[in-house]
Structure 1
Amino acid sequence: MEPSKISGFPSAIITLIAISLCTETSALSNNLARTPPMGWSSWERFRCNVDCVNYPDECVSETLYRTMADKMVEDGYLAAGYEYLLLDDCWLSDKRNLAGMLVADPVRFPSGMKNLSQYVHSRGLKFGIYEDYGTHTCEGYPGIRDYTMAVDSGLFAYWEVDYVKLDGCYSDPFDMDMGYSTFGKYLLATGRPMVYSCSWPFYQHNIGLTPNYTLIADTCNLWRNYADVQDSWQSVRDIMNYYGSHQDEFQPYAGPDHWNDPDMLVIGNYGLTYDQAKAQMSVWAVMTAPLIMSHDLRTVKSEFKDILLNPFVIQVNQDPMGIQGRRIYLNKRRKCEFWAKPVHPIVAGYYSWAFAAVNVDDAGQPTMCTLPLKYTKMRQPYSLYFFADLFEPDSKVTIKRNKLMVRIPPLGGTLIKAELRGRQEWPPLVRTSWK
């Protein structure tokens, strides 16, 4: 049943408006997303396919989302930490209803959003939804305006939404500081804990504005800085380059409950090889990025699924310190780069480290990527660390003349962990080869 047909709902909305207008708290009062959110989104894989006649198994519908919810549980994704099922654009009807409320497409979502949310929750997952701060969503469906914020946020709370992604199509970037922060306050005022995902910095960058990252980090749990990822290595590589080149601008603002979002993992689709998939997973783990998958969970090949479910890599991403890693070394001659992130365990005040190594050479040859450890902040002597390739636990990691050396396939990558030895002994992940 839609809220407009429930007698108590309009009065609750009126009360919400009054509360919201008096609220002076920031969105980060929600105390959510203490580590980067993990989940699955429909967008990259299924986009805005609304043709359920010709594509009944691939169209954006409640059947698709119920199926994906089941697969997340049955195939181990939820157990690995992927807890959010995220609807993206095209779930909406073409128009709001006569009461001015958002409604799901009645043909593709005949049971309604409340029912779908309850099903997702019954599977132990959390439920996320998409909207847009603008006249329309990016695909032309009704957007959220300043005068609909109270009603829309209250509706999301009624639907028991746990995560809201707010895009910025058909909107003036000059209005986004006020608009996004105001909607964040409305979400808080509902009393329903909802992770708040923003796109506002990207749209401001696009017209040459300098985003106010202090305000953004005080408003959103995660935010996009760059263009949408596409199902290609070039797109993934462009995002890596952008984040590596601009890390001084926005890396300092990341941390528990506020994260830079380089966009979805496209692992398991058509565009990335196995080695490229490892590269994306490695860099996203070190960047402490949200891990939002977007592939068909029914047909993914086992080798890609193994990358996404790798517990050691996920542990690096979800390290409770929440420090966003940085690109620390770029060898233009060998065309290798390394990203570094401090992680647990900490011994005598010194961090352990995770290093993403990427071979960006398109000549089609494996490369021995070498990182001079002087560019890291590791404790000396380096023999205090256990080094392990988190994707190849049986392989050896070579340290030679104070350099980390790892052979990487063309346009591929891997993730190395350097784990400090402490007074308490723990078994190394793999024996290190010292030369």
Structure 2
Amino acid sequence: MSRALFAAAALVGTCLSATPALARTAYDGVWLFDDTPPNPGVTMMEVTSKGDKVTGRVTTRWYGPVEMQNPRIEEGVLHFTARNINDREHPTRDWSVAIEGGKAHLKGRIWESEVDGLGRPGTAKDAKARAFRFADLPALGAPIPNPLAATPPMGWSSWNKFAEHIDDRTVRAMADAMVATGLRDAGYTYVNIDDGWQGKRDANGVLQPNAKFPDMKALTDYVHSKGLKIGIYSSQGPRTCAGYEGSYGHVQQDAKTYAEWGFDYLKYDLCSGEWFYADADTVKRSYHEMGAALQATGRDFIFSLCEYGRFDVGSWGRDVGGQLWRTTGDITDDYPTMARIGFDKNGNPGWAGPHGWNDPDMLEVGNGGMSADEYRTHMTLWAMSAAPLMMGHDLRETSAETLAMLTNRRVIAIDQDARGIQGKAVRKGGTMEVWAKPLADGRVALALFNRGDAAGSLELTTADAGMATVTNVEDAWSGQSTARLPAAYAVPARGAVMVVLTGK
């Protein structure tokens, strides 16, 4: 619905609430909610009726006005459905309202939020005070040049291990561990704070960190002193995925704040913004708005687009200033989810290359939910895919085995190859897949994956690499070299082999 229609609907609602004699049902008028949970933050319900036709909406802090779809009164109860963002399996949800003791008992669900609260009668003046304030979205501007990220970004992010329970002390500890373990020297550069750092805005609208982050500038200075860079997180919606303050209506202001604090990277997550920006045009414009705002600060920012691969994001991600773009929903620390993302959901390889990368989400290596063979498959898939390598475990608890996996210089070199080609499957048979990734020096990386639950074996051939002859075969994991390919490779269940071929 356009803003003009919203305004018209609000006017009708306020007129009815101001003249109760015109009310057609017990639900007509304005209902105020004072004690509902902050997610989604229901503040008001407005209902009007004319004859048998009922219309209405529920106003929330997260999503603004939520229109009632197919509202009807059955056996004295108002029923309706509402659009349910971010849940593709349940595009709508059922809601109900019952009048109890002169109050409106509203029950429903939107995304992960349950609504169950009582609303008291209100007035037209109340409705005006609680009306959602819309922010203007600029037209799509010219492509934004951004020469950063010639190779996929590498680093660490807080979300997979700590979710929103992250603080200044932990971020500093991760920076210390990056240095002490040799991860920094292996190429892991960014220490990224995900959701959960935000506090409230001051009287001028400037966003402040919460009490867990007492001094953002001091934190960025500390991370920089370790020879590292640091990232932060926001959403173009009113709220982030964890319910913290988003950048809606404050995009340029927030970009300026991040720059003044000294950040080098921004992950921008659609979350509640999907309610406002639900089609390709508005999603692109919302990312371009922040991309342009970051550029206007004069500071270099890696701009990470997180909108879950919608609208062929890889085909336009560079144009809005992005260097990486999520291609799927969130990864979790289990083989089925990781494999589904890595094998089947990581975007068009033609979109990837220097300064722009398909992002299958962060690494789970070290979090404990998979076996060593499964984690080796995880790392092999991400390296063959030229994916960003963002660790997601507690770096202070990195085992020797995990550290060896994450710092293997040959595997990292395949991921970071200057040619920037995203590898892909060249042969499939049963549970086996063979992937190829041409490298800048003329060699070709081959990976053999066993997606089955039992050990298997398969031959790799020179044809898999597009070569006629091979003069050297290097095992990327062990470093051992041979002059020719063996008759077959044994691959453990859910395991992987990765080799680099020299030849022509």
The equivalent of 1:256 in structure 2 is 354
Higher mean C-alpha displacement, 322-331 vs 385-394: 385-394
State yes or no: 1:233 paired with 2:328: no
The equivalent of 1:90 in structure 2 is 196
**RMSD of the TM alignment (CA)?**
2.0
Q: How many residue pairs were aligned?
A: 361
SS at match of 2:312: coil
Distance 1:298 1:139 in 2: 25
Distance 2:318 2:194 in 1: 23
Encode CA deviations 1:285-310: one digit per residue, 9 max, x unaligned: 11000000011111121111100000
8 A contact 2:461–2:485 mirrored in 1: no
State yes or no: 1:42 paired with 2:147: no
SS at match of 1:231: coil
Distance of aligned partners of 1:396 and 1:409 in 2 relative to their CA distance in 1, 3 Å threshold? farther
Q: How does the TM-score come out when normalised to structure 1?
A: 0.79
Shift of 1:214: 3.0
The equivalent of 2:55 in structure 1 is none
The equivalent of 1:367 in structure 2 is 456
The equivalent of 1:306 in structure 2 is 404
Shift of 1:137: 0.3
Q: Once the two structures are aligned, what percentage of the paired residues are identical?
A: 35
Q: Which runs of 5 or more structure 2 residues have no equivalent in the other structure?
A: 1-137
State yes or no: 1:120 paired with 2:216: no
The equivalent of 2:386 in structure 1 is 288
State yes or no: 1:105 paired with 2:210: yes
Distance 1:308 1:45 in 2: 16
8 A contact 1:367–1:410 mirrored in 2: yes
Encode CA deviations 1:390-434: one digit per residue, 9 max, x unaligned: 11234768636xxx732111111132111248xxxxxxxxxxxxx
**1 or 2, which has the higher strand percentage?**
2
**1 or 2, which has the higher helix percentage?**
1
1:16-415 matches, within 5 Å, as 26-27=143-144, 29-49=145-165, 60-93=166-199, 95-106=200-211, 108-110=212-214, 112-145=215-248, 147-172=249-274, 173-174=278-279, 175-202=282-309, 204=310, 210-211=311-312, 213-219=314-320, 220-243=322-345, 247=347, 250-332=348-430, 335-345=431-441, 351-362=442-453, 365-378=454-467, 380=468, 382-383=469-470, 385-394=471-480, 399=485, 405-415=488-498
The equivalent of 2:90 in structure 1 is none
Encode CA deviations 1:204-252: one digit per residue, 9 max, x unaligned: 3xxxxx3354322322100001011101111111112323xx75xx211
SS at match of 2:299: coil
Aligned partner letter, 1:288: A
Distance 1:293 1:266 in 2: 7
8 A contact 1:329–1:371 mirrored in 2: no
Aligned partner letter, 1:211: D
8 A contact 2:460–2:485 mirrored in 1: no
Q: Kindly name which structure, 1 or 2, has the bigger radius of gyration based on alpha carbons.
A: 2
Distance 1:154 1:371 in 2: 52
Distance of aligned partners of 1:241 and 1:283 in 2 relative to their CA distance in 1, 3 Å threshold? closer
Aligned partner letter, 1:313: V
Distance 1:92 1:184 in 2: 20
Encode CA deviations 1:366-412: one digit per residue, 9 max, x unaligned: 2113334434422x1x23x3112111234768636xxx732111111
Encode CA deviations 1:298-356: one digit per residue, 9 max, x unaligned: 11211111000000111111111111111222111xx11122100132xxxxx210112
Higher mean C-alpha displacement, 76-85 vs 169-178: 169-178
Shift of 1:278: 1.1
Q: How does the TM-score come out when normalised to structure 2?
A: 0.68
Q: Which runs of 5 or more structure 1 residues have no equivalent in the other structure?
A: 1-20, 50-59, 205-209, 346-350, 422-435
Distance 1:201 1:297 in 2: 26
Aligned partner letter, 2:206: M
Aligned partner letter, 2:492: P
8 A contact 1:201–1:211 mirrored in 2: no
The equivalent of 1:15 in structure 2 is none
Distance 2:386 2:480 in 1: 26
SS at match of 2:316: helix
Distance 1:158 1:261 in 2: 27
8 A contact 2:444–2:465 mirrored in 1: no
The equivalent of 2:47 in structure 1 is none
Higher mean C-alpha displacement, 78-87 vs 405-414: 405-414
Aligned partner letter, 1:369: L
